[in-house]
Amino acid sequence: MTRGRNRGGNSRNSSKAPSQAILDLPVAKNEDVEVEIIGLTHEGEGVGRVEGYTLFIGGALPGERVRAKVLKVKKQYGYAKLIEVVVASPDRIAPPCEIYKQCGGCQLQHWSYEAQLDWKHQHVVDNLERIGKLKVGAAEGETSEGLNEEAGIVVHPTLGMNDPWRYRNKAQVPMGLAEEGGLIGGFYARNSHRIIDMDACLIQHDQNDDIVRRVKAIGRELGVTAYNEETGEGLLRHVVVRVGFRTGELMVVLVTNGAKLPLAEAWIEAIRAQVPGVESICQNINTKRTNVIFGDVTKTLWGRDVIYDYIGDVKFAISARSFYQVNPVQTEVLYGKTLEYAGLTGSETVIDAYCGIGTISLFLAQHAKRVYGVEIVPEAIEDARANAALNGISNAEFEVGAAEDVMPRWLEQGVSPDVVVVDPPRKGCDERLLETLLTMQPERIVYVSCNPATLARDLRLLEDGGYCVKEVQPVDMFPHTVHVESVALLVWDDTDR
């Protein structure tokens, strides 16, 4: 172990950060240390401990002993760079993707899938306990007898994918110019805006990979220029491909810096010839100096302006810019759990807060009396209404607005839901919304969460208000990444009231 306490002398006293100089930290910048890794942060960095001091080390895994170079020290914690794995975790694997290190799109490919699923489960448990101060019971013996309050909340093992690869239905690939000239497209090198050419992304549907490859070749043949972020010049910014897993329908979108697409007919002809199954070829115009992918105007160059896909029995129309869950296989698992937790018999009134394009609303509408969806993005609500009509669903209505404003209004108007589903963004539910829930007192709340920390915070507030958190089911929507999605069931607890 090379770590020493020999920094007490000159180097420390001459440190530029006086606040650090007076702290007696067990490590110093540039020091070479050997560290035990005891956990993983929500960003996928290994958490190491040196005499109680925390070091974050990218690439290190729990259970490992690694050698690392300290890059930065703060009062409570520091960062170090992995130099060598001294004792490897038995779950460490060679990442199957060749560009894993450079890309940064996945963070956990060097860990076995089983270990990833276990970690996601434990991550939910830790957040519920530490942030929510909630009692978590054993996840074993998943019988309904296990779900009693004394035993604590049942957090089930993560529902993972049988085949956790090639699960994404949408590719959005930035285009650039190779040094030697010519169109390339792939991903931004970590912490930079330099585009690295890529032909295969292992979490992408292989058809999407194939189509992006072909479209790049067509672009090269037609001599299209790639957009240059620095100069604001060049035409082709992104190639976006969407595939309906169930229908096999394909959409190709060329995002261009300018309204004119030279050789449009040649583009269409070549794409149609080389992409069998293409139903829609669109151009989206984005002339802004921004890294937002889409501009406001989309033109249909050929075919339909939407493709169709199904979640369960519900058909969805997906346009170039529509929000649509990117992992359709696991979406069915997630919504299936949501439906199970909602416990619908056909006579219930349901609110779906943060409803997006109404995917959950329409999924539940078939089993409920009436569903109300609320969402802040107007285009998403237009999609939700169109999708309701597409499926002949007449017992779902949608309103644009902030859920925390609209729900109190519904309450005043006498809407009395039996079940409320919330599926908020990462920051969790607005407190006003949670307070409205406590006034509405639906029998069940189903909380779909993409962030265990805010889930835990919100569940605490609902528990304090009279709800009982029964069970939580983590679902792996994004294998090989650090994203952790889960569904929680809460029931109104009137035993002491």
Active site residues: 450
Nearer to ligand SAH, 158 or 327 (CB): 327
Q: Which of 356, 428, 452, 479 binds ligand SAH (CB under 6 A)?
A: 356
- Is there a contact between 309 and 245 (Cβ–Cβ < 8 Å)? yes
Strand-pairing partners, residue 375, are: 400
Our CB check for ligand SAH shows the closer of 175 and 374 to be 374
282/326 with CB nearer ligand SAH: 326
- Window of 26-34, 70-78, 272-280, 424-432 that interacts with ligand SAH by CB under 6 A: 424-432
State the nearest-atom distance from the C-beta of 316 to ligand SAH, in Å. Answer: 10
Of residues 107, 109, 257, 359, which one binds ligand SAH by CB under 6 A? Answer: 359
Region of 39-47, 157-165, 277-285, 350-358 interacting with ligand SAH (CB under 6 A): 350-358
CB 136 within 8 Å of CB 152: yes
User: Is residue 50 involved in binding ligand SAH (CB under 6 A)?
Assistant: no
**Least separation, in Å, of the C-beta of 379 and ligand SAH?**
10
Contact residue for ligand SAH among 236, 380, 420, 462 (CB under 6 A): 380
Q: Segment contacting ligand SAH (CB under 6 A): 201-209, 422-430, 462-470, 486-494?
A: 422-430
The piece of 60-68, 94-102, 402-410, 453-461 that touches ligand SAH (CB under 6 A) is 402-410
- Give min distance, CB of 57 to ligand SAH, in A: 32
- CA-closest candidate to residue 490, choices 439, 448, 429: 448
Return d(Cα 394, Cα 405) in angstroms, integer.
24
C-alpha distances out from residue 466 to 81, 128, 197, 402, 445, Å:
47, 17, 54, 24, 12
Residue 376 is a binding residue for ligand SAH (CB under 6 A): yes
Contact window for ligand SAH (CB under 6 A) among 26-34, 86-94, 351-359, 436-444: 351-359
Query: Is 402 near ligand SAH (CB under 6 A)?
Result: yes
Stretch that binds ligand SAH, among 75-83, 112-120, 249-257, 369-377 (CB under 6 A): 369-377
Among 360, 445, 472, 475, binds ligand SAH (CB under 6 A): 360
Min dist. Cβ of residue 462 to ligand SAH (A): 17
Tell which one of 4, 291, 425, 439 touches ligand SAH (CB under 6 A): 425
Site string for ligand SAH, 283-322 (x = CB under 6 A): ----------------------------------------
Give exposure, 73-107, as e/b (b: 16+ Cβ within 10 Å).
Answer: beeeebbbebeebeeebebbeebebebbeebebbb
Shortest distance in whole angstroms from residue 356 CB to ligand SAH: 3
Q: Can you tell me the distance from the alpha carbon of 165 to that of 75, in angstroms, rounded to the nearest whole number? A: 40
Among 403, 407, 420, 484, binds ligand SAH (CB under 6 A): 403
Residue 325 binding ligand SAH, by CB under 6 A: yes
CB of 5 to ligand SAH, least distance (A): 50
Residue 375 in the binding site for ligand SAH (CB under 6 A) = yes
What is the token pair recorded at 335?
């919504």
CB of 409 to ligand SAH, least distance (A): 13
* Closer to ligand SAH by Cβ: residue 165 or 323: 323
Nearer to ligand SAH by Cβ, of 190 and 426: the residue is 426
- The site that binds ligand SAH (CB under 6 A) totals a number of residues, namely 19
DSSP lists the bridge partners of residue 50 as 53
216-246 burial string, b = 16+ CB within 10 Å, else e? bebbeebebebbebeeeebbbbbbbbbbbbb
Residues 6+ apart with CB under 8 A from 294: 255, 284, 286, 320, 321
Residues 6+ apart with CB under 8 A from 125: 136, 155
Assigned token pair, 270: 């070549």
Binding interface with ligand SAH (CB under 6 A) = 323, 325, 354-356, 359-360, 374-377, 380, 402-404, 423-425, 430
